[in-house]
Amino acid sequence: MSLFGSCIKFFLLLVSLLYGLIVRILILFYRFYPYILKCTVISVGNITLGGTGKSSLVEFIARNLKQQGHTVAVLTRGYRRLTEQDNLKGAPHEEMGDEPYMLQEKLSGIPVIVDSDRIKAGIRAIRDYDADTVILDDGMQQWKIKKDLEIITINATCPLGNGHLLPRGILREPISSLRRADIFILTKTNLSPDNEKIKYFLNGLNPGALILESIHKPVALYKAAKPAEPLGLNFLEGKPVTLFCGIGDPDSFENLIKSIGANVGLCFKFTDHHNYTGTDLDGIIEASRKKNIRTVVTTEKDAARLDESELGRLGEEILVLRIEQSIKDEQRFFDRLFKLYRL
């Protein structure tokens, strides 16, 4: 490694140490005086940057609690949305953010409250929707709120990165923060060859926490312009395809596409939460045609960020893969979840 590269790494390490000190002070301060909402508070979050499957788990929990007769609300900040206005029920994806918009579309009858202030959002959920439970989407770093259940998702394909805090690594909090977890969900374990090492590490760090595995699996395929007309997953078998996505873990999307028999010819990877323009889509379609590829596939999260006017022009050529999360040993998860309401 060059001297310049070594200097950059050392500088990033120093910034990481400063960042870690600030985070530790904030956690210590807020843990003494957490705000107590007058309802059950479930947090779903992660300790790293990147896609760990938080939103799909939030959807899964919200659906099951509603089926059990609970009045649930999802609280989210709406990362990289194009407005600072809050309480955006029914707003377009540009104003809500892609993940809240997708949750709103999927969770019929369950309010998704977008607000950068989760305490204010929680009070609103209780007041306006009579919620007995709120789910904090991306809630691990919400240190100001007392939580009844802390669920931490960890991407099994890249659990903790290089072990360093931002910006030297991908950790948002010190590894010691994992001791706060009540449940660990190792996600995408079907894409990881060996999960025993991380399970052993987590058990040693936090022996009281429940450790479960989950898989991400393709469940449906549809045209972006015609979501009500699903295609069979075998539609892509043997076909050359172009992929595009702006998610935290693009490699997992590519691996899932390959798992259903498609041949990936081109793959466009944008930054997480990228807002697509007509120029972006034109470039993807043009590059695909030059390679004689007629099928372009993206994720539901990305499809939420596509402009409807563009779908009218290009939708026939863009397919969307619907992915769901499935927890192994589901009953142990439900036993721990529903225990909250038997106390």
Q: Please indicate, yes or no, whether residues 271 and 333 belong to a single structural domain of this protein.
A: no
Q: Please indicate, yes or no, whether residues 268 and 147 belong to a single structural domain of this protein.
A: no
Q: What is the mean pLDDT of residues 65-81?
A: 88
Find the CATH number of the domain harbouring 244.
3.40.50
Average the pLDDT over each of 85-89, 92-96, 143-147, 171-175 and give the range with the smallest value.
85-89
CB distance 182 to 210 below 8 Å: yes
Q: Please indicate, yes or no, whether residues 239 and 207 belong to a single structural domain of this protein.
A: no
Query: What's the rounded Cα separation, in Å, for the pair 191 and 252?
Result: 7
Look at residue 51 and tell me whether its pLDDT is greater than 90: no
CB distance 176 to 287 below 8 Å: no
Query: What's the rounded Cα separation, in Å, for the pair 271 and 287?
Result: 19
Query: What's the rounded Cα separation, in Å, for the pair 72 and 61?
Result: 10
Q: Please indicate, yes or no, whether residues 231 and 211 belong to a single structural domain of this protein.
A: no
Domain that holds residue 196: 15-25+33-216+326-341
- DSSP 8-state class, residue 271: P
- The percent of residues above 70 in pLDDT, for the chain, comes to 92
Name 121's Cβ contacts closer than 8 Å, sequence gap at least 6. 75, 86, 113, 114, 115, 134
Residue 152 one-letter amino acid? I
Look at residue 85 and tell me whether its pLDDT is greater than 50: no
What is the reported pLDDT for 288? 92
Higher pLDDT, 53 or 184: 184
CB distance 252 to 53 below 8 Å: no
Q: Please indicate, yes or no, whether residues 161 and 174 belong to a single structural domain of this protein.
A: yes
Q: Please indicate, yes or no, whether residues 69 and 165 belong to a single structural domain of this protein.
A: yes
pLDDT (tens digit, 9 = 90+) per residue, 279-333? 999 899 899 999 999 999 999 999 988 887 766 666 557 899 999 899 999 999 9
Q: Please indicate, yes or no, whether residues 228 and 87 belong to a single structural domain of this protein.
A: no
- The dihedral built from the CA positions of residue 41, 44, 47 and 50, taken in this order, carries a sign that is negative
Look at residue 84 and tell me whether its pLDDT is greater than 50: no
Look at residue 2 and tell me whether its pLDDT is greater than 90: no
Domain count, the chain: 2
Find the CATH number of the domain harbouring 109.
3.40.50.300
Count Cβ atoms within 10 A of the Cβ of residue 204 and give its class: 0-12 exposed, 13-18 middle, 19 or more buried.
exposed
Helix (H, G, I), strand (E, B), or coil: what is residue 245?
A: strand
What is the reported pLDDT for 193? 84
- DSSP 8-state class, residue 162: T
Domain assignment of residue 4, yes or no: no
Q: Please indicate, yes or no, whether residues 212 and 232 belong to a single structural domain of this protein.
A: no
Domain assignment of residue 168, yes or no: yes
Query: What's the rounded Cα separation, in Å, for the pair 209 and 109?
Result: 32
Q: Please indicate, yes or no, whether residues 208 and 227 belong to a single structural domain of this protein.
A: no
What is the reported pLDDT for 95? 64
Q: Please indicate, yes or no, whether residues 193 and 267 belong to a single structural domain of this protein.
A: no
Residue 135 one-letter amino acid? I
- DSSP 8-state class, residue 182: S
Beta pairing partners, 221: 231, 321
Average the pLDDT over each of 109-118, 305-314, 331-340 and give the range with the smallest value.
305-314
Higher pLDDT, 80 or 141: 141
pLDDT (tens digit, 9 = 90+) per residue, 21-48? 999 999 999 988 899 999 999 999 999 9
Q: Please indicate, yes or no, whether residues 162 and 144 belong to a single structural domain of this protein.
A: yes
